[in-house]
Amino acid sequence: MVVQATNDFKEIITGRRSIRNYNPNYKISKKEMAEILEKASLAPSSVNLQPWRFLVIESKEGKETLASLAQFNQRQVRTSAAVIAIFIDMNSEFYLEDIYNNAVKEGYMSVEVKEKQVPGVRAMMETMTYEHKKEMNLIDAGLVSMQLMLAARAHGYDTNPIGGFEKERIAEAFDLDKSRYHPVMLISIGKAAEKGYKSVRLPVDVIAQWK
């Protein structure tokens, strides 16, 4: 089976479908999966903290564990090449210095700007409540999730966002610290075994206002 990659943006956004049944024999290499995740991570985030974390579940054992936590999404789990669990890292500021140092190294930011912004970001984070911080991170996770699905489509793969799983159990099931890593959604990825159906959208004059 040949995977048709594309750089046609219109085809990427209009051709995307939510696929629930995949070719179980089609696998995605670790190298290509890393490329997809790298493109997804170009999504914007608040003060560039990039709080998203990806857990790529592709092994037989990993899928068996996940299947027990996603009772109503068995086909996606079992037939996809992988299921990517999206988490937010509630300690994302741990990487603040690294992120801003690398921005200076790449010439995207001056040392002076970095030395002004890093203390400001730290001060902001210290004053935020847990819920405010979580809300900020969830917005960023939504951005990266959509970008991941579009990046996958550009590589010729199909996806499906999944919200129906046991969020309270998944971190510990995969040996993650549940107090630090908060699950957001699952995204199945692979090669569709059936054609996804089109769906309608509300017209712009219903969903948008101009003032």
Domain borders along the chain are: 9-191
pLDDT over 70 percentage in the chain: 99
For residue 1, is pLDDT > 70? Answer: no
pTM (whole model) above 0.75 = yes
Q: Does residue 144 contact residue 52 with C-beta atoms inside 8 Å?
A: yes
The pLDDT score that the predictor gives to residue 35 is 98
CATH architecture assigned to 9-191: 3-Layer(aba) Sandwich (3.40)
Angle at 115 between CA 112 and CA 118, to 5 degrees: 140
Q: Provide φ and ψ at 147, rounded to 5°.
A: -65, -35
Distance (Å, rounded) from C-alpha 43 to C-alpha 103?
16
Residue whose structure tokens are 């959509």: 146
